[in-house]
Amino acid sequence: MVGSEAVPFVKTGGLADVLGGLPPALARAGHDVAVVIPKYRKVDLFGAERVFHELPVWLGGHLHTVAVDRVTDRGVQFLFVNCPWAFDREGIYNVGNNDYYDNHIRFALFSRAAIEVARRVFRPNVIHAHDWQASLTAPYLKTSHSSDPTFFGVKTVLTIHNLGYQGQFALGLGHELGLDPAMLGPGGPLEFHGSLNFLKSGIVFADAISTVSKAYAGEIQTAEFGFGLDGLLRSRADVLSGILNGVDYSEWNPEHDRYIPRNYSADALEGKKECKRSLLGEFGLPEENMERPLIGIVSRFASQKGFDLVAEVARGLVDLGASLAVLGSGDPGYENMFRGLAAWRPDRVGLRIGYDNPLSHRIEAGADMFLMPSRYEPCGLNQIYSLRYGTIPIVRATGGLDDTIKEGTGFKFWSYAGHDLYECIRVAVQAYEDREGWTEMMVRAMREDFSWDVSAREYGALYDSLVKPAAGGVAA
């Protein structure tokens, strides 16, 4: 696996949960798995073993030297590309709102380094790259390394976690990537409307492409969700599939969650009340909110996530009797929108701007409902975590949200419109009044199972289809 973040080492979003959860599940299923990720400043490598001191990596005519450090965790080798000038920086992709000017070099180098790791440290049958940061692995293998016997028969998988992030850069920087200049020409694999596009080249060259829910695999082939790549994706539909993300229930389970004030389960729900009381206190919301539905939000503040709809319905939602506990950061416009709501009704809207993993667990446990009105959502993880915490999801029926939430475990609305979200919340708040029915719904939600082992079997079958000849067939 090659990707830019993985729990427990470094995380900005769901990709890290996936690279922390899927590889150990594959290992449990008998696969031999290594995950290659960059060694950022934030990554604490205490206890790591240096497995390669000076690994040469060529990029665009320059020779770079990186070290490789290994941490073995839950049966998986996490191999860190240690290259201080590229990754020993304050941020991962950006500082403040500014992306690093050399991200194209940083992640091209990372992809080249992953290929060298595959040559010298860990020899795989399949290289499985995630998102644009690792997308160049397939184009490198299929072009500059195509006559390298080390990689004969090695297959590539590209998983798209979010088509909204493609890794686009000025076309003039293309010569720094060490790829055939013909690939940069108009309509070439790396060119997209006059820019470089890392993800596009991965889509062109990968042997198989997956995305993180079945619904999203269909959606990205339409103009509405395709971000301009829908035509290309349609042309690769024969190798494109959707495999739903799983959940690491050793991290996300109210029965033994170490971050929440009291543990609880579907058979013993009393602890959840205590979690709610404590969460209200933490957000400075008055005790009287115990009798009202408390809606949780934990999110990156990005336009993908549907917060303009929340702005539209917030006042109505408070009039319905609900209160909000919000944790997130990102787009300053949404941060200010939430600041405005919290200033308007400090008794009903609690807000923390920032990134806080323990608090995200306490919101999952303490809220009654969890809101994800996304414009689009490739998979979405918090709604699945919410199910296990008996925190009923209110979601827009798109992508993975549609695939994971059904009538009886959550509430869905379809059109991306404030009025529809409001109606959906109104129905949920009304359902909350029927305490017995609500408890039944919580228990149903808590009994749903989205463990990684199910998804790992699907990935295993995908790998097998690539590396094992079909019955009676001949290996390529």
**382 touching ligand ADP, by CB under 6 A:** yes
* Distance, C-alpha 133 to centroid of its chain: 13
CB 353 within 8 A of CB 328: yes
CB 463 within 8 A of CB 207: no
* Shortest reach from residue 377's CB to ligand ADP, in Å: 7
With CB under 6 A, what is the number of residues at the site for ligand ADP?
Answer: 17
Closer residue to ligand ADP in complex, CB, 77/360 = 360
Residue 245: left if φ>0, alpha if ψ -120 to 50, beta else—which one? beta
Closer residue to ligand ADP in complex, CB, 432/459 = 459
Find the length of the chain: 476
Q: How far apart are the first and last CA of the chain?
A: 23
Closer residue to ligand ADP in complex, CB, 286/333 = 333
Question: What residues pair up with 97 in beta bridges, in sequence order?
Answer: none
Please state, in angstroms and rounded to a whole number, the distance separating the CA atoms of residues 293 and 295: 6
| Window 307-346: contact mask with ligand GLC (x via CB under 6 A) | ----------------------------------------
Cβ contacts of residue 74 below 8 Å, gap of 6+?
23, 24, 27
Cβ contacts of residue 154 below 8 Å, gap of 6+?
118, 124, 125, 126, 127, 141
Closer residue to ligand GLC in complex, CB, 132/422 = 132
Nearest to 122 by CA among 31, 205, 209: 31
CB under 5 to 8 A by kind: which of ligand GLC, ligand ADP, none does 113 bind? none
CB under 5 to 8 A by kind: which of ligand GLC, ligand ADP, none does 135 bind? none
Closer residue to ligand ADP in complex, CB, 136/247 = 247
Closer residue to ligand ADP in complex, CB, 72/357 = 357
| Window 244-273: contact mask with ligand GLC (x via CB under 6 A) | -x----------------------------
Please select the residue that binds ligand GLC; options are 8, 13, 271, 281, rule is CB under 6 A.
Answer: 13
CB 38 within 8 A of CB 110: yes
Closer residue to ligand GLC in complex, CB, 176/377 = 377
CB under 5 to 8 A by kind: which of ligand GLC, ligand ADP, none does 462 bind? none
- Which span (39-47, 348-356, 379-387, 447-455) binds ligand GLC, by CB under 6 A? 379-387
CB 130 within 8 A of CB 1: yes
**378 touching ligand GLC, by CB under 6 A:** yes
With CB under 6 A, what is the number of residues at the site for ligand GLC?
Answer: 14
CB 25 within 8 A of CB 456: yes
Q: Which residues in 111-130 contact ligand GLC (CB under 6 A)?
A: none
What the block records as the tokens of 78 is 């996490």
**390 touching ligand ADP, by CB under 6 A:** no
Cβ contacts of residue 375 below 8 Å, gap of 6+?
303, 304, 305, 306, 396, 398, 416
* Shortest reach from residue 207's CB to ligand ADP, in Å: 25
Please state, in angstroms and rounded to a whole number, the distance separating the CA atoms of residues 432 and 422: 15
* Shortest reach from residue 375's CB to ligand GLC, in Å: 11
CB 81 within 8 A of CB 45: no
Please state, in angstroms and rounded to a whole number, the distance separating the CA atoms of residues 294 and 317: 11
Nearest to 126 by CA among 6, 237, 210: 210
Please select the residue that binds ligand ADP; options are 294, 298, 421, 446, rule is CB under 6 A.
Answer: 298
Closer residue to ligand GLC in complex, CB, 4/391 = 4
- Which span (24-32, 188-196, 371-379, 461-469) binds ligand GLC, by CB under 6 A? 371-379
**159 touching ligand ADP, by CB under 6 A:** no
CB under 5 to 8 A by kind: which of ligand ADP, ligand GLC, none does 355 bind? ligand ADP
> Would you tell me how many other CB atoms lie within 10 Å of the CB of residue 182?
10
**14 touching ligand GLC, by CB under 6 A:** yes
Closer residue to ligand GLC in complex, CB, 373/400 = 400
CB 429 within 8 A of CB 322: yes
Question: What residues pair up with 94 in beta bridges, in sequence order?
Answer: 99
Can you give the binding site for ligand ADP, defined by CB under 6 A? 13-14, 17, 298-300, 327-329, 355-357, 360, 379-382
